[in-house]
Every structure is written in structure tokens, then in C-alpha cells.
Amino acid sequence: MKTTFTLAALGLASLLSFGATAADLVTQQDVASQNLQPIGTISVSGIDGSPSAIRQHLSQQADKQGASAYRVVEAYNNGNYHATAEIYK
């Protein structure tokens, strides 16, 4: 249940803008329709904050790896947030 809630919160947080980050949060349907190619995975953990803070950290990590998009594949809160995402070109 926490995972579902966290993923839903991350999805809603994607409506907010966080500056000039280039990597966009996408869904599995976006990946298929845009023919995005996977280039690896990233993860962030130990984040004390909101789901929007996780989105910002994931976007920054994706940018560092040269990705144009990322898709959250795992997220949970066990005192601090943790999330794993697949990144795409």
C-alpha cells in the first residue's frame, strides 16, 4: 500500500516543475509510444522530504547519466524515501 501511495504521489509531483532539469518522468505507455531506449537504472535513497524531492533527485541523477527520461520502477518510505528508476534516451 505504501508503494502504491508513493508511486501515485510521484506521479502527481510530475505536474510540478523543478527548474531546468532535462529528464522527464514518463510512464510505461510513454516509453512504448515514444520508442524510448533504456540505458540503465538509477536510484536515490536516504532522502528526508516529500515525494517531489525524490522526483527532483531522480531527475538530477538521470541528467548526469545523459538520459532524457526516467520511469520509477520502485519507491518506498522506510523512515527515509528510496526510489529506483529506469532511464531512457
| Domain range summary for the chain, segments of one domain joined by + | 24-88
Give the pLDDT of residue 33: 97
List the beta strands (DSSP E) in 10-66: 24-25, 38-47
Give the pLDDT of residue 22: 74
Read off the C-alpha cell for 44. Answer: 536515490
Residue given cell 531522480 in the structure block: 58
Cα(2)–Cα(36) distance, rounded to whole angstroms?
28
Going by C-alpha positions, the residue among 22, 86, 79 that lies closest to residue 56 is 22
Q: For 27-77, write each residue's pLDDT tens digit.
A: 999 999 999 999 999 999 987 778 888 899 999 999 999 999 999 999 988
Q: Is the pTM of this model over 0.85?
A: no
Return the CATH superfamily for domain 24-88. Answer: Flavin-binding protein dodecin (3.30.1660.10)
- Per the model's pLDDT, the better-predicted residue between 18 and 74 turns out to be 74
